[in-house]
Structure 1
Amino acid sequence: MGKSKRNSPKPGGNRAQRLAERRAALEQAAQAVTRPFEGLAAECDLVALQEFVPSATATLKLVAGAGAERPVVLGTVLPGAVAALVRAGDEPTGYVGAQVQYRGADPSADLAASILWTQSAEPGDSLSDPAAVAGGPRLTEVIDPGADLDITVHQDFDWWVPAGVEPDPQVAATIEQARQAIMPSARLAVGPDAIGAPWWVDAGEKAHLRWVRPESEDALMLALARVHAAGGLGLGEGSRFAGSFRTHGVLVPVFDLDRERHADEWIKPAMEFGVRLAEALASDAPLSSDERRSRDGLRSRQVTLR
């Protein structure tokens, strides 16, 4: 008979090491801040910039006396996915990245640490890992919490290089490679009173509208169920409600769209949907049987982004 393999070493490394890594991952997940950008007027756009907007920038409005005097620009992603860098010039400017190579348990604290690092770093320096200190400043203490972001959406990464500067061949090749992978995107201007952040993107085979919402998940799901039961969960012809996903403590409804239509053509339908949703959010009537079925169906189409 062959020798039993029950006690033979298994591939994949030391078991104790694997268990330690698993415990560390669970501890980090337990420490993660559920809603890192809560309390900021720009919360929904910050979530979008961190999770799915390809290329965009916004100059941050810093809090006076927070130790931040040098101008700081938030970019979706910086060269090498670094956390921050300081660009040389007559007036050195700090850049911080939303989509980074290393992300801690609290993205708000990470961004705050990156912003403060830009104030003392030398022009030309870059920061790979912000290494935010537990209990240290968060974004609400460094930028104006009541200010919206004035976002510039780019369809390339030319903003990585200062205007008038000719990049060296390696940098130019990196920018071109990134440009070829970019998906055309737009922040829909759906009015000054609109809630949340609606972002359109052309993903290739179809386009999508991802609308980051600030309401609690339960309240938003009830409202979506009411709208769905009434036949209004859509943006008209050429659109389909695809589902929703959770990220950074908020819910993001997603619509599939006809990509042959320009982003601006979806502004009016999105505004009309926003009105229907606001009316549903304001209702406190018990759910009807149709609305309960709609709620259960919508919940089954949710996913969570980690």
Structure 2
Amino acid sequence: MAKGSVEFVLRPFEGLPGEPDWVALKEVVPAATATARTTKEYGAKEVLVTTVLPQAWPALHRADGVILLALQTASSSGDASRDLAVALLEALEVEPGTAIETIGLPEPGPRLQDVLDLTVPFEVTVQTSFSYWLAPDVERTSDLEAAIEDADAGIIDTAPVAGVESAYWCRMGTKEFLRWAQPHDEQVVLDGLARLHAKRESGFADGKFIGYFRSCGLVVPVWELARGTEADELEGPIAEFLPRFTAALESTEPLDANERRARAGLVARQVTLR
């Protein structure tokens, strides 16, 4: 490793409140915000974490003084937490109305776990528009309105599922899906899903488990739902599914032959996002 380079971190958001939601907002939720705050050492400043900013900016010091930190940006190093901390600290230093357009290649230094107050809950709000990019009192010219409308056109219908953490329903075209970011180690989740899949118990709500994303050291299983299923119809089925899913995750028995075959099939269908 080159001198002064940042070491690779498999789970960059480990230790932050709501680690699965950090991953979900970074990878599978198109438009959302969440709450955070820097520590007293870094000014106890409120931070609005967002999925994306215009032109893939890493951060923005909005005209009204609000700091926005974007997750859906390309990582410069092997540690997304370090990259985001660099963008956040730069945003704290610039004048309101200034965007952090690039951060370059960070050297070792403070990570989000060092910069953020870890007692502040990471409370997610799914958004239907990117209008929050602008301060409320900013004059909205025709160009600004057009830019927001253009960005909004790319938002797929997404909603959190009540009664469970880090689970997001979405509609893509004529199909509906559930993407559920898991807080457990990848191998634990894969073994649990394999146990259920081998017994044909991995689906719910007349839907089927179809694969998973892996990102930032966590797994995001994906279910294709029965056609027309709405987000508010999932709370009951997930509550019914959760006990057997939890039991499968907690099992320490070695996988049998059928479960090992099921697991191999799951791995073949994974999508590694980054």
Give the structure-2-normalised TM-score.
0.90
Identify the match of residue 186 of structure 1 among 131, 145, 159: 159
Q: What is the rounded CA distance, in whole Å, between the counterparts of 1:290 and 1:100 in structure 2? A: 40
Q: Is the 8 A contact 2:35 2:121 kept in 1?
A: no
Q: CA deviation at 1:221?
A: 1.4
Which residue is 1:35 aligned to?
11
Q: What is the rounded CA distance, in whole Å, between the counterparts of 1:258 and 1:151 in structure 2? A: 26
Matching of residue 57 in structure 1 with residue 53 in structure 2: no
- State, as a whole percentage, how many aligned pairs show the same letter: 39
Q: What is the rounded CA distance, in whole Å, between the counterparts of 2:184 and 2:139 in structure 1? A: 46
Q: CA deviation at 1:234?
A: 0.7
Q: What is the rounded CA distance, in whole Å, between the counterparts of 2:93 and 2:44 in structure 1? A: 10
Q: CA deviation at 1:104?
A: 3.3
Q: Is the 8 A contact 2:36 2:121 kept in 1?
A: no
Identify the match of residue 43 of structure 2 among 68, 89, 101: 68
Identify the match of residue 125 of structure 1 among 98, 112, 126: 98
Q: What is the rounded CA distance, in whole Å, between the counterparts of 1:295 and 1:182 in structure 2? A: 33
Which residue is 2:196 aligned to?
227
Alignment of 1:199-278 (within 5 A): 199-237=168-206, 239-278=207-246
Q: Is the 8 A contact 1:227 1:233 kept in 2?
A: yes
Which residue type is aligned with residue 56 of structure 2? A
Which residue type is aligned with residue 59 of structure 1? T
Which residue type is aligned with residue 107 of structure 1? A
Which residue is 2:248 aligned to?
280
Q: CA deviation at 1:55?
A: 0.8
Q: Is the 8 A contact 1:101 1:128 kept in 2?
A: no
Identify the match of residue 113 of structure 1 among 86, 96, 119: 86
SS of alignment partner, residue 200 of structure 1? strand
Q: What is the rounded CA distance, in whole Å, between the counterparts of 1:274 and 1:81 in structure 2? A: 37
Which residue type is aligned with residue 295 of structure 1? R
Q: 1:35 to 1:101 in 2, by over 3 A?
A: closer
Which residue type is aligned with residue 251 of structure 1? V
Q: Is the 8 A contact 1:156 1:179 kept in 2?
A: yes
Matching of residue 95 in structure 1 with residue 68 in structure 2: yes
Q: CA deviation at 1:146?
A: 4.9
Which residue is 1:14 aligned to?
none
Q: CA deviation at 1:132?
A: 6.0
SS of alignment partner, residue 102 of structure 2? coil
Q: CA deviation at 1:147?
A: 4.1
Q: Is the 8 A contact 2:48 2:66 kept in 1?
A: yes
Deviations 1:86-117 (A, max 9, x none): 1223xx11111111266433210111122222
SS of alignment partner, residue 242 of structure 1? strand
Deviations 1:51-75 (A, max 9, x none): 121111112132222x133322111
By relative contact order (CA 8 Å, sep 6+), the higher-ranking structure is 2
Gaps spanning 5+ residues in structure 1: where? 1-23
Gaps spanning 5+ residues in structure 2: where? none
Q: What is the rounded CA distance, in whole Å, between the counterparts of 1:259 and 1:179 in structure 2? A: 24
Larger radius of gyration: 1
Q: What is the rounded CA distance, in whole Å, between the counterparts of 1:146 and 1:259 in structure 2? A: 40
Which residue type is aligned with residue 46 of structure 1? W
Q: Is the 8 A contact 1:78 1:160 kept in 2?
A: yes
Identify the match of residue 261 of structure 2 among 293, 297, 305: 293
Q: Is the 8 A contact 1:87 1:124 kept in 2?
A: yes
